[in-house]
Amino acid sequence: MRRKRNEIAAQQVLIHYLSVGINLLREHPVIEYATKHFLVISAIATILGAAMAALFAYGYLIVFGSGLVWILEYSDLLKLALIGVLFVLAYISIITVFAQEIPKIMNYNNKLLRNIVLILLILALLLIYILPEYKLFIDGDVWIKLRIIAVSSLIVFSMISLLMTIDITSRLIEGRFIALQMFISFGVSFMLVVFIFGVCRGLYVKTSKESFVEILARDKGNVETLYKNSKIIMMLSHHAIFQTSDSIIVIPASDVVRITAGSKGWSH
| Structural domain of 225 | 213-267
Listed residues 181, 207, 233: the one ending a domain = 207
Tens digit of each residue's pLDDT (9 = 90 or more) over 35-44: 666 677 677 7
Listed residues 188, 207, 226: the one ending a domain = 207
Q: Is the domain of 77 the same as that of 188?
A: yes
Arithmetic mean of pLDDT over the chain? 72
The answer to whether position 6 is within a domain reads no
Name the residue type at position 244.
T
- With beta carbons less than 8 A apart as the criterion, state whether 201 and 178 touch: no
Q: How far is CA 73 from the centre of its chain?
A: 21
The answer to whether position 253 is within a domain reads yes
pTM, two decimals, is 0.66
- With beta carbons less than 8 A apart as the criterion, state whether 150 and 199 touch: yes
**Calpha distance 210→227 (Å, rounded):** 16
Q: Is the domain of 112 the same as that of 232?
A: no
Which has the closest alpha carbon to 44: 159, 190, 167, 154? 190
Tens digit of each residue's pLDDT (9 = 90 or more) over 134-174: 666 677 677 778 877 887 777 777 777 777 777 776 676 66
Tens digit of each residue's pLDDT (9 = 90 or more) over 27-74: 555 556 666 666 776 777 677 777 778 888 888 888 888 788 888 887
Q: Is the domain of 130 the same as that of 258?
A: no
Q: Is the domain of 42 the same as that of 137?
A: yes
Tens digit of each residue's pLDDT (9 = 90 or more) over 194-235: 888 888 888 888 887 777 888 888 877 677 788 888 888 888
Q: What is the CATH number of the domain that holds 238?
A: 2.30.30
Q: Is the domain of 153 the same as that of 192?
A: yes
Q: Is the domain of 104 the same as that of 185?
A: yes
Domain count, the chain: 2
Q: Is the domain of 59 the same as that of 182?
A: yes
The answer to whether position 127 is within a domain reads yes
